[in-house]
Structure 1
Amino acid sequence: MRLQRENLRMVGKLGVIALGMFAFGYALVPLYKAICEVTGINILALSEREVPGAKLKLPANTQVDTSRLITVEFDVNTRGPWDFKPERRSMEVHPGQLSTVMYEFQNIQNRTMAAQAIPSYAPRQAAQHFNKLECFCFTQYTLAPGEKKAWPVAFVIDPRLPKDVTTITLSYTFFEVGGKVPAAPVAATPTQPALPEGRS
């Protein structure tokens, strides 16, 4: 009889613990949202909130230097029988602003090839301030005959870029893996005339 009472008491304790754990887990969702709103950690959660009759204002990215504009020029060098070009020749960005440009590549040969790109920068001091978050140059690619690819380059220019730098040229050379790897190209400086369309 005593053993039965102890068993019932133990079952009761376990039931209370299980109930407490369930309640704690259920309370985590609103607790998490409250912490995110206070700390600003989860910006997406703030943007998804619906506030009846009011517009939700997201905090501004204080790392963007809106007082400056940097012209980023996109240049390509082809070393082989393929088509390689950026979707645009240049864009203006603020330091600290996340920007993206697309590059198109097509293997126009009648055989499969493996290739990779080498980036370079002008002026050279810009290289340490040009941060690529996503780039096709990080990986080697194998393309079938006639295969076409479009790849993004997502980048942020460090706000600590020297004030006298107003133009950066990002240049890529695409080479076939397995052949002789070319040296990184010297990108044209902003003072040099632009090359005619279609010339490398």
Structure 2
Amino acid sequence: MLFEKNKVYRRSFIHDQYGGSRQRGISTPNKHKLIFIFDSGMDQEFGYKNGWSEEDGLFYYSGEGQEGNQTFSFGNKALLHHIENGEDVYLFESLGKGNYRFVDQLVLIGYDIQFGIDKHQNQREVIVFAFEPLHVVQEESHEYATTMRYKSIVELERIANRDPKRATGLSMSIRKRQVREQTAALYYYVLARANNHC
């Protein structure tokens, strides 16, 4: 991992090292497969709240865009497609005065569209992403190893390419399970394609 958990970094240092926007909440460096989320803690002003859920262990993060309906463009688009684009997502929490605590590396579990308000107090649609720490997904995907080990390469490919974040009407617990299945299937799919010499 590029950053040490709970260590405090100057935001300017992060951008000096990797690039990316120095102002946006979602920063996407051009020359690195990285996405930085800088959680400022100022989100309630626009009718939504970022943070961890004790109920399901997920980090909920509202997309960028302070005016009108949020869309899947710029940073929101990058977060939506970070897995297929091979981009790592790193979460930083603001401590004020340009200092940020590194929280964890995240993986997208899904998203929902909710109603909120924009900076003009008009009602609008807000994208709410649900993330989970990557290490948790990797650890818990081992539970599905037995199930995936004996599937055909066609079945493994289908599961590995499944995209649960776009499945509407599913609870986050189901999406979490599907992501774990997908992670385990991807491992055995790569192994099968290499004729078990991977």
Give the helix-richer structure, 1 or 2: 2
Normalising by structure 1, report the TM-score.
Answer: 0.22
Larger-gyration structure (1/2): 1
Normalising by structure 2, report the TM-score.
Answer: 0.22
Higher RCO, Cα 8 Å, sep 6+:
1
Give the strand-richer structure, 1 or 2: 1
